[in-house]
A and B are shown apart, each in its own frame.
Chain A
Amino acid sequence: MTSDSWLKIIQNARKTAVIEDGKRKVHFLMEDGKEMVEEYSTDTNVVVRRAWKQKNGFGTNIGWMVEVGDPELKQNNIEIYGIEESSNTVFNFLLQPIITRRITKASLEWRIRNLSYPESVYSITAEHDGTMTVRTSNKKYFKKIKIPDLERIGLKPEQERISFRHQYNTLIITYKKPPQLLDVEKKILAAVLQLKTDSKDVQCPTS
């Protein structure tokens, strides 16, 4: 996929926009039936939340997958699935790590909360399979992080753009946006800003 094809998908999508609570909420219905919602801050015009509608193999909705922004509160699935990461609050170190994503003007950011290990144990590498891999030298945490923003425009992560720091039990990874991504985002933002947002009660097309 190249940056052009992603731009084209966005341009061809049926878009609906509304401004609510200081956020410009845009709903995209792609030509292949996928649905995406983006929320832009009206002040900074930066995406604060992006979510995709998830469907299972039989076409039934199974909720939204949050790509950027705070994840939705999960219900307690332990009785449904029978297994879940431990969230014992008595022992603080057992809290399961949670990844959230943010986008700033110049960079993509990941925050991995509840990681109590010291900064020296972490190493983050850009992999050839298009992911960023977080490793710990004490073998306690390992995560392959996909970067959908780069994947969509056909870029591979580059090691020199990755930086990270650790504070307040949180590992913050910053990836400096490459110029191609900045370019694409600018174009998408331009398209989004043109959308009419005056009507209060709009219905998003779903199919």
Chain B
Amino acid sequence: MFDPFYCNYLNRNTQILKYHVSNYFLFQISTNVQEVREVTRIERIGAHSHIRGLGLNDSLEPRNVSQGMVGQLMARRAAGVILEMIKESKIAGRAILLAGQPGTGKTAIAMGMAQALGLDTPFTSMAGSEIYSLEMSKTEALTQAIRKSIGVRIKEETEIIEGEVVEIQVDRPATGIGVKVGKLTLKTTEMETIYDLGNKMIDCLMKEKVQAGDVITIDKATGKINRLGRSFTRARDYDATGSQTRFVQCPEGELQKRKEVVHTVTLHEVDVINSRTHGFLALFSGDTGEIKSEVRDQINAKVAEWREEGKAEIVPGVLFIDEVHMLDIECFSFLNRALENEMAPVVIMATNRGITRIRGTHYKSPHGIPIDLLDRAIIVPTSPYQEKELKEILKIRCEEEDCEMTDDALTVLTRIASETSLRYAIQLITTASLVSRRRKTTEVSIDDVKRVYSLFLDENRSTQFLKEYQDDFMFNEFYFSLTWLEYIILILFVNRRLGVHRSDHDDNAKNDGPKSPHACLAAVGSCQVVIEENPLKIIILRKSFKNNKSALVYRGPKQMKTLAASGETVE
């Protein structure tokens, strides 16, 4: 009749539950105390985790080292001004371009702005390459990104129940399946009421492990349960409490209160919910597909209506496009148009390119961005860091990565950063700290830095190395010995010889191999071609290579396509 399974399933806490086992026959079961395991919040450290804001004072003057930002004073000041512009949220559709060399803190400034804006203003961060997807057109991806950056603040009055749990009682049928019946007694300082519980609510309460003495709020409309803490009057119930247990006063007044809550949703979320083919579940799966423009038009009209009625407020946010030079000309012209819309967000772009080709055209333009878009943008330049600033940044990164470093090691690292790149130096922090930990010391010394510096190449040394030893690397000969034209001629020729069409390679073709090896020579011209019949092998030797070191080996028609990848050298 009594199944211990219930015991484990339900009663994790030291709480006495009444089981409803046929004819109101009540059991009382007290169960084992569940071990309390502290779950520490695990945070991963990213490249810009140390940035907490723009590091400006109230008059928008940048402090030299603040909130994880170092140097770049002019750019930060400019970003501060832009921030004010966004906060006033009057002007929509401005474009800001952060331009500068690699590793000068463009992304850091954008992240700082995101942090400074806070959670209330939508901030969408994307990379220029993100728009290239096979499932979605480029403009759709951009439109979605733009609409993700516009928030709608909706005020709503909801009814919440707030009180201290006096008793929670769940009756379940003896068979284990069927409708559970539950009662929850809540009280405030002034009153006490018994509530009936539905099935869903019982599950929620069980999941939240609500027990007598907890102070909870229940949002009546959504059924969301929020545990505020334990009541002070129950503070002495247990000798041991977890460190995260909060003690709160028993609420006052009525149990049911009306509270005005403000939701901020993005236009994109409204779009997705209203696009009939997907429904709101698409929000979680991320598979939104294309949203019809009619849906968007309707939503725009509706939102405008709400705004006039004072029910909703538009919060234009920020769309940050990193590596903006990866966008192509279509996207740029789309952006031109989209920025003129009154619901457009502020678009911040970042690029590290100089005068370069605009993607999708043969034209060159500064930053790889067409002049007409550049004209609409405010350009904020970033400049390379000074050595002093590099040292500060490295110091901040050391702190962020929990790594103690001696002063001279830091000086060496700064030197490395100025000679090579800041990113490389930051990589060395992590690796050096690991090396020092192997030595069982807590502090990273100059030797550790030296060691990792010799272990890991920076970009300059790697290039140098390649230049010296390039002949020894794979595929090197192939690219240097055969031009692409020769390569194509060769493939066509071999095909012809083998009597195989390009479209159908099959194994039968192997049998009638080429007859005259010298014909190859004639066709390819500058190469000497040797053809071996078994296994089918075509060896092309460039005449220019005297030592016969480089050659291309081609085996059978099947490998035709992989020729470029599987070319081998023969001695």
Q: Once the chains bind, are B193 and A85 in contact (CB under 8 Å)?
A: yes
Q: Once the chains bind, are A84 and B195 in contact (CB under 8 Å)?
A: yes
Q: How many residues of A contact B (CB 8 A)?
A: 24
Q: Which residues of the other chain, B, contact A136 by a CB distance below 8 angstroms?
A: 190-191
Question: Known contacts being A56-B156, A82-B197, A83-B196, is A140 close to B191, with CB within 8 Å?
Answer: yes
Q: B296 at the A/B interface (Cβ < 8 Å)? A: no
Q: Once the chains bind, are A59 and B311 in contact (CB under 8 Å)?
A: yes
Q: Once the chains bind, are B201 and A82 in contact (CB under 8 Å)?
A: yes
Q: Once the chains bind, are A94 and B197 in contact (CB under 8 Å)?
A: no
Q: Which residues of the other chain, A, contact B196 by a CB distance below 8 angstroms?
A: 78, 83-88
Q: Once the chains bind, are A83 and B188 in contact (CB under 8 Å)?
A: no
Q: Once the chains bind, are B198 and A82 in contact (CB under 8 Å)?
A: yes
A120 CA / B191 CA spacing, docked (Å): 16
Q: Once the chains bind, are B253 and A142 in contact (CB under 8 Å)?
A: yes
The answer, among A58, A83, A135, for a CB contact under 8 Å with B201, is A83
Question: Known contacts being A82-B201, A83-B201, A142-B190, is A57 close to B195, with CB within 8 Å?
Answer: no
Within the complex, the shortest CB–CB distance from B266 to chain A, in Å, comes to 16
The answer, among A56, A59, A83, A86, for a CB contact under 8 Å with B220, is A83
Q: A144 at the A/B interface (Cβ < 8 Å)? A: yes
Within the complex, the shortest CB–CB distance from A83 to chain B, in Å, comes to 5
Q: Which residues of the other chain, A, contact B190 by a CB distance below 8 angstroms?
A: 135-136, 139, 142
The answer, among A81, A84, A139, for a CB contact under 8 Å with B191, is A139
Q: Once the chains bind, are A82 and B253 in contact (CB under 8 Å)?
A: no
Question: Known contacts being A58-B311, A139-B187, A144-B254, is A83 close to B192, with CB within 8 Å?
Answer: no
- 0 or 1 for each of B353-386: is its CB under 8 Å from A? (1 = yes): 0000000000000000000000000000000000
Which residue, of B161, B187, B193, B311, has the highest number of chain A Cβ atoms within 10 A? B193
Within the complex, the shortest CB–CB distance from A140 to chain B, in Å, comes to 5
A-B contacts counted at CB < 8 A amount to 80
Residue of A nearest to B192 (CB): A140
Q: B223 at the A/B interface (Cβ < 8 Å)? A: yes
Q: Which residues of the other chain, B, contact A58 by a CB distance below 8 angstroms?
A: 154, 306, 311
Residue of B nearest to A78 (CB): B198
Within the complex, the shortest CB–CB distance from A133 to chain B, in Å, comes to 9
- 0 or 1 for each of A166-189: is its CB under 8 Å from B? (1 = yes): 000000000000000000000000
- 0 or 1 for each of A77-120: is its CB under 8 Å from B? (1 = yes): 01101111111100000101000000000000000000000000
Residue of B nearest to A143 (CB): B254
Within the complex, the shortest CB–CB distance from A53 to chain B, in Å, comes to 15
Within the complex, the shortest CB–CB distance from B215 to chain A, in Å, comes to 16
Q: How many residues of B contact A (CB 8 A)?
A: 35
Residue of A nearest to B186 (CB): A83
Q: Which residues of the other chain, B, contact A78 by a CB distance below 8 angstroms?
A: 196-198
Within the complex, the shortest CB–CB distance from B307 to chain A, in Å, comes to 12
Q: Which residues of the other chain, A, contact B154 by a CB distance below 8 angstroms?
A: 57-58
The answer, among B155, B189, B223, B306, for a CB contact under 8 Å with A81, is B223
Residue of B nearest to A87 (CB): B196
A94 CA / B167 CA spacing, docked (Å): 14
Q: Which residues of the other chain, B, contact A142 by a CB distance below 8 angstroms?
A: 188, 190-191, 253-254
Q: Which residues of the other chain, B, contact A57 by a CB distance below 8 angstroms?
A: 154-157, 311-312
Q: Which residues of the other chain, A, contact B199 by a CB distance below 8 angstroms?
A: 79, 82
Q: Which residues of the other chain, A, contact B157 by a CB distance below 8 angstroms?
A: 57
Question: Known contacts being A139-B189, A143-B254, is A83 close to B311, with CB within 8 Å?
Answer: no
Q: Which residues of the other chain, B, contact A143 by a CB distance below 8 angstroms?
A: 191, 254
A82 CA / B203 CA spacing, docked (Å): 10
Q: B218 at the A/B interface (Cβ < 8 Å)? A: yes
Q: B17 at the A/B interface (Cβ < 8 Å)? A: no
Q: Which residues of the other chain, B, contact A56 by a CB distance below 8 angstroms?
A: 156
Which residue, of A83, A96, A136, A140, has the highest number of chain B Cβ atoms within 10 A? A83
Question: Known contacts being A56-B156, A139-B189, is A83 close to B194, with CB within 8 Å?
Answer: no
The answer, among B195, B201, B204, B309, for a CB contact under 8 Å with A86, is B195
Interface residues of B in 265-307 (CB under 8 A from A): 305-306
Interface residues of A in 124-143 (CB under 8 A from B): 135-136, 139-143
Residue of A nearest to B257 (CB): A144
Question: Known contacts being A57-B311, A86-B183, is A94 close to B194, with CB within 8 Å?
Answer: yes
Within the complex, the shortest CB–CB distance from B196 to chain A, in Å, comes to 5
Q: Once the chains bind, are B253 and A83 in contact (CB under 8 Å)?
A: no
Q: Once the chains bind, are B197 and A83 in contact (CB under 8 Å)?
A: yes
Q: Which residues of the other chain, A, contact B254 by a CB distance below 8 angstroms?
A: 142-144
Q: Which residues of the other chain, A, contact B220 by a CB distance below 8 angstroms?
A: 81, 83
Q: Which residues of the other chain, B, contact A86 by a CB distance below 8 angstroms?
A: 183, 193-196
- 0 or 1 for each of B208-245: is its CB under 8 Å from A? (1 = yes): 00000000001011010000000000000000000000
Q: Once the chains bind, are B311 and A85 in contact (CB under 8 Å)?
A: no
Q: Which residues of the other chain, A, contact B201 by a CB distance below 8 angstroms?
A: 81-83
A96 CA / B161 CA spacing, docked (Å): 15
Which residue, of A57, A85, A141, has the highest number of chain B Cβ atoms within 10 A? A57
Task: Return the 6 tightest CB-CB contacts between A and B, nearest first.
Answer: A82-B201, A142-B190, A142-B191, A82-B198, A86-B194, A57-B156
Known: A59-B306, A142-B190. 8 other contacts (CB 8 A): A57-B157, A58-B311, A82-B198, A82-B223, A83-B220, A84-B195, A86-B183, A136-B191
A-B contact pairs, 21 of them (CB 8 A): A57-B154, A57-B155, A57-B156, A57-B157, A59-B309, A78-B196, A78-B198, A79-B199, A81-B220, A82-B198, A82-B200, A82-B202, A83-B197, A83-B201, A84-B195, A84-B196, A85-B195, A142-B190, A142-B191, A143-B191, A144-B253
